[in-house]
Structures are given as structure tokens and as C-alpha cells.
Amino acid sequence: KNEVEQSPQNLTAQEGEFITINCSYSVGISALHWLQQHPGGGIVSLFMLSSGKKKHGRLIATINIQEKHSSLHITASHPRDSAVYICAAALTGNQFYFGTGTSLTVIP
Amino acid sequence: EAGVAQSPRYKIIEKRQSVAFWCNPISGHATLYWYQQILGQGPKLLIQFQNNGVVDDSQLPKDRFSAERLKGVDSTLKIQPAKLEDSAVYLCASSLGTGGPYQPQHFGDGTRLSIL
């Protein structure tokens, strides 16, 4: 059983489409992180959320603590957004549970 | 600021051989993590250091994996002997202070290990 589940596993979108990636977790968390992993391995931290909503450019992340659910939205998607998006549940202390990632491909 | 540096980027070895990976974290970052990421899976923590002390190595296969961070700066991860199931990307990350749930982790580009 995975403590963090992401959906969908794979997503293909046309350039310009609005994209939503979902993350559900079963553990009590202190924070939820969204990460972006490009081909070749490098991982970049996008957001850290403990409540509500955060926005950075075309990316929006939301979290519902009661429902143990977070979403990552991409507005006006672009081929350079193609990457694997990973959510990670951060517990108190130093324990992180990572999802298996959502592979996004944006077609021009 | 310079990011987390890892080397080598790629390594191919035969099973039962040994291999070592090196990581230099962002300057001033006290906490350093080593993760194993098998294809199609999320990263799995192998070991976490705070300065030169081990915080968590509960998922490190200690019969074959070892890691050190002797001076509290750069770190090496070693596998000896390697098994086929060790084929993965090995990621190093660092964070400020003691780490924890509110600190973003900064990742290196990883070392892709292939075992033949």
C-alpha cells in the first residue's frame, strides 16, 4: 500500500490546455511538496504547501487537509512543461513519502 | 548559488562489482539525503545526514550499501557488491538547517546506474 497516490500516471495534452494532476495521501502530514523531474533526472522543488493554495506563474497548487488531497494545475500548458510531476508528503521530523509521479507530455 | 553536484552522471558495471557515487551539496546546507529511484517509481530515501551524523538510515541495505559524510560537507555512497536490482538513479539532495517537512530539498541531477 502506498502512502501517496497520484493520478493520472500518464497524461498527454495539447499545447494551451488546462492540466490537473491529483495527489492523495493516507498519512498525517505537516506539509505537501510538489516536485518536477525532467528527463535526465534533475528534480526541482515547485511548491511546499501546508494549507490553502499557492501560485507561481502558470502553476497553481492547492491542498485540502481534511480530504487529504492536493492538486497541481498548469494553465496554458506548453511543451516545456513536459516532465514528471511528483508529490511528496512530509511528516513531522524528516520522513517524506513520495508518489510515483505523473508523466506529462504536452504536444505542440 | 551553485546547485547540488553529483558525479558520475552515468555508470555501467557488472553485477558483483563495486561502485561509488559522490555528492557535493549546496554550500551551507547541513542536511544531505541520498535517494534511490527505480524506473517508474518515486525516490526512496536511503540515508539522511545532518552535518556528519546519520539521522536516518533505516532503509539502507547495510549488507551492501555504505555512505559517509566525514567532514559534514560532501558525501559518498558505495555499493559493494552490486546486484541487478540496484539499477536505478541515485539522487543526492540537500536542505538548510535540520531539514524537516517545511524545508525544500535541492536535488542534484543524479547518477544513473546500470548493472549488467
Q: What is the pLDDT of residue A75?
A: 97
Whether A27 and chain B come into contact, CB under 8 Å, resolves to: no
Mean pLDDT computed over A25-31 = 90
- Higher-pLDDT residue of A38 and A72 is A72
Distance linking the first and last C-alpha atoms of chain B: 37
**Residues B48, B94, B45, A53, CA torsion sign:** positive
**Least CA distance to B31: which residue of chain A?**
A94
CB spacing of A94 vs B48 below 8 angstroms? yes
Residues of chain A with C-beta less than 8 angstroms from the C-beta of B56: 94-95
Residues 6+ apart with CB under 8 A from B79: B18, B19, B20, B64, B65, B86, B113
With CB atoms and an 8 Å threshold, state whether B110 touches A42.
yes
Tell me the pLDDT band of A27, cut-offs 50, 70 and 90: confident
Report the percentage of chain A scoring pLDDT > 90.
81
A72 close to A6: Cβ distance less than 8 angstroms: no
Contact flag B112-A41 (C-beta cutoff 8 Å): yes
Note down pLDDT in tens along chain B; length 116 residues: 679 999 999 999 999 999 999 999 999 999 999 999 998 888 999 999 998 899 999 999 999 999 999 888 999 999 999 999 999 999 999 998 777 888 889 999 999 999 99
Distance, CA of B47 to chain centre: 7
Average pLDDT over residues A9-28: 95
Q: A98 and B42: CB-CB below 8 Å?
A: yes
pLDDT at A41: 67
3-state secondary structure of B97: coil
Q: Is the pLDDT of residue A40 over 80?
A: no
B-chain residue closest to A36, CA distance: B107
pLDDT at B101: 85
Interface residue B5 vs chain A (CB under 8 A): no
B108–A30 CB contact, under 8 Å:
no
